Chains A and B, each alone.
Chain A
Amino acid sequence: MSDLPGDLLYTKDHEWLRREDDGSVTIGITDHAQSALGDLVYVELPEVGQDVDDGGDMAVVESVKAASDVYAPISGSIAAVNEALADDPEKINTDPYGDGWIVRLQPSDGIDEGALMSPDDYQQFVDELDD
């Protein structure tokens, strides 16, 4: 398991969130998630401006193996999507916390940090899954 970026928050669905300076939140899937999915071959992205609800479907990532939903970890509206994934979904495999980001969300109600995990908590969560 590679080191988890310390500046991110994590979810039980193996997604990460980064707070940006403009108040938006960038979201992707974790290294653990991309590794479990295998080589990604297609990403279905939402429309910019679309509203999403906490826990609702937001995107779909498909690997050679299976399709997997990406859930909205908070409510908000889609501020940007990573268009580069359309031609190169493997960016999620090679750089899940960087070039493999999926969407940027403008939160509608702020972020409930209690519902999210710190890097240490997420690491422990993943370790327990592997046992």
Chain B
Amino acid sequence: MGSKTPLHEKHVDAGARIVDFGGWDMPLHYGSQKEEHHAVRQGAGVFEVSHMTIVDLRGDRARDFLRYLVANDVAKLHEYGKALYTCMLNPEGGVIDDLIIYYLSDTDYRIVVNAATRDKDLAWITKQAAEFDVSVLERPELAMIAVQGPKARELAAPCIDAEYREAALAMKPFFGMQAGDWFIARTGYTGEDGWEICMPAAEAPAVWDRLLAAGVVPCGLGARDTLRLEAAMNLYGTDMDETVSPLEAGLNWTIAWDPDDRDFIGRAALQEFRDKPNKQRFVGLLLEDRGVLRNHQKVVVEGIGEGEITSGGFSPTMGKSIALARLPAGDYDRAQVEVRGKLLNVRIVKTPFVRNGQIRIDI
């Protein structure tokens, strides 16, 4: 048995199928993954994500430290609570992890990193932080839930302390705010509006009950994965890892090249790689034949070469199979995927597949 999250009993009570995820016992679904998926696209769903690692970075040089630690640039952040998505690279330009950074002040940042990468992330961050005299404080006493969907904020607002409710509802996308012991952020991993909320673990079960009573649907990791795939949001360990550059994982937009003189870990390697020709493409695929695309299936581009699906699955919103894939360089918009010895036709499409409840590609 793995580690238990603060809401473990709630998941069991709600009939969850529990699976191991990075050493944690997590709900996969509560009966129907598809229904949970649709609830988030059309109404509101709640995920427990307490397994994720919350870390507070504080110190006079916290800003300088983060400008060195990650590939995106926290110097872009000026407004209280503003969030930044970034990769943390190794010196070779591979991705150690992807994370979100919330700006609280130049000396105070909150970051959220993945669960499965916790140990290596903390070791790496702590090692790099020493030189900057920045404190690295993990917050395992906090539970974290993600309430997502077009109705998520409306249904979750009554759970928020009246003192902070109005401010929380007024908060713009991709911002976070401290609300007493809670931290509320208008972020997520589904392609829908909503909040991610950190709170003392002891308070989480009552909040969970209240959300469910309000009609918010409990959702597991299964729906989380199909939602993020439709939104074309990368999954660490699947779409990229330490051997893959963000330049071949569709994450170019997260690299802050300017200013030229900002030295961040991995910059030299990344810059050298950037100037090389024939980098692999990271694209969205739509399956035109019947079947289901899966991780690691081989993609064949006739006359050009081969690539691989990094994340594949079934899109409940489109009723079709979709994937993210790393493919050979070249100018082409069709390919084939090898599934059980047969070649199925796929079309290369612009991602995201789905955003805010709407299908964004021609199907």
Residues of B within 8 A of A62 (CB): 291-292, 314
Residues on A with C-beta less than 8 A from B226 are 64
CA distance A65 to B294 in the complex (A): 9
Chain B residues closer than 8 Å to A64, beta-carbon distance: 33-34, 222, 226, 313-314, 316
B340 in the interface, Cβ–Cβ < 8 Å? yes
Q: Which residues of A contact B292 (CB under 8 A)?
A: 41-42, 62, 67
| Cβ–Cβ < 8 Å partners of A38 in chain B | 17, 28-29, 32-33, 222
| Chain A residues closer than 8 Å to B291, beta-carbon distance | 42, 44, 62
Contacts of B313 in A (CB 8 A): 64
Give which listed residue, A39, A42, A44, contacts B33 with CB less than 8 A: A39
Given the complex of chains A and B, what is the CA–CA distance between A42 and B316 in angstroms?
12
Which chain A residues numbered 80 to 98 have a C-beta less than 8 Å away from chain B? 86
The bracket for how many chain A residues form the interface is 10 to 19
Q: Which residues of B contact A86 (CB under 8 A)?
A: 290
* B 274-316 to A, binary, CB cutoff 8 A, 1 in contact else 0: 0000000000000000111010000000000000000001101
Instruction: Note all chain A residues with C-beta closer than 8 A to B29.
Output: 38
Q: Answer whether residue A33 sits at the interface, using C-beta atoms and an 8 A cutoff.
A: no
Question: Contacts A64-B222, A64-B313, A64-B316 given: A39-B32 contact, CB under 8 Å?
Answer: yes
Q: How far is the CA of A38 from the CA of B35 in the complex (A)?
A: 11
Q: A4 contacts the other chain (Cβ, under 8 Å)?
A: no
- The CA of A97 and the CA of B316, in the complex, are separated in Å by 25
Please indicate which of the listed interface residues B17, B29, B226, B292 has the most CB atoms of chain A within 10 Å of its own CB.
B292
Contacts of A79 in B (CB 8 A): none
Question: What is the number of contacts between chain A and chain B, taking CB atoms within 8 Å?
Answer: 37
Cβ of B294 and Cβ of A39 under 8 Å apart?
no
Q: How far is the CA of A124 from the CA of B290 in the complex (A)?
A: 37
Of residues A39, A60, A62, A67, which shows the largest number of chain B Cβ atoms within 10 Å of its Cβ? A39
Q: Tell me which residues across on chain B come within 8 A of A66, comparing CB atoms.
A: 294
Specify the chain B residue showing the minimal Cβ separation from A41.
Answer: B314
Shortest A51–chain B CB gap in Å is 18
Q: Given A64-B34, A64-B222, A65-B33, is A42 in contact with B294 using a C-beta cutoff of 8 Å?
A: no
The answer to whether A60 touches B340 (Cβ under 8 A) is yes
Residues of A within 8 A of B340 (CB): 44, 60
CA distance A42 to B320 in the complex (A): 10
Min CB gap A89→B, angstroms: 10
> What is the bound-complex CA distance between A42 and B290, given in angstroms?
8
Chain B residues, Cβ within 8 Å of A44: 291, 340
Q: How far is the CB of A70 from chain B (nearest CB, A)?
A: 13
Q: Which of B306-343 contact A (CB under 8 A)?
A: 313-314, 316, 321, 340
Q: Report yes or no: A65 in contact with B290, Cβ–Cβ below 8 A.
A: no
Q: What chain A residues lie within 8 Å of B222 (beta carbons)?
A: 38, 64-65
B residues less than 8 Å from A39 (CB atoms): 32-34
- Taken together as a complex, chains A and B put the C-alpha atoms of A66 and B312 apart, in Å, by 10
Q: Who on chain A is nearest to B223 by CB?
A: A64
- Looking at the assembled complex, report how far the CB atom of B91 sits from the nearest CB atom of chain A, in whole angstroms: 37
Contact with B along A45-72 (1 / 0, CB 8 A): 0000000000000001010111100000
Chain B residue nearest to A38 in the complex (CB):
B33
Chain B residues near A41 (CB-CB < 8 A): 292, 314, 321
Q: In this complex, what residue of A is CB-closest to B287?
A: A42
Cβ distance A126 to chain B, nearest Cβ, rounded Å: 15
Q: Complex Cα distance A38/B17, Å?
A: 10
Residues of chain A within 8 A of B290, CB atoms compared: 42, 86
* Contacts A64-B34, A64-B314 supplied; 16 other A-B pairs, CB < 8 Å: A38-B32, A38-B33, A38-B222, A39-B33, A39-B34, A41-B314, A41-B321, A44-B291, A60-B340, A62-B292, A64-B222, A64-B316, A65-B28, A65-B33, A65-B222, A86-B290
Which residues of A are interface residues toward B (Cβ below 8 A)? Answer: 38-39, 41-42, 44, 60, 62, 64-67, 86
- Residues of B participating in the A interface, judged by any CB pair closer than 8 Å: 17, 28-29, 32-34, 222, 226, 290-292, 294, 313-314, 316, 321, 340
9 smallest beta-carbon distances between A and B, as pairs? A41-B314, A39-B34, A62-B292, A64-B33, A42-B292, A64-B314, A38-B33, A39-B33, A39-B32
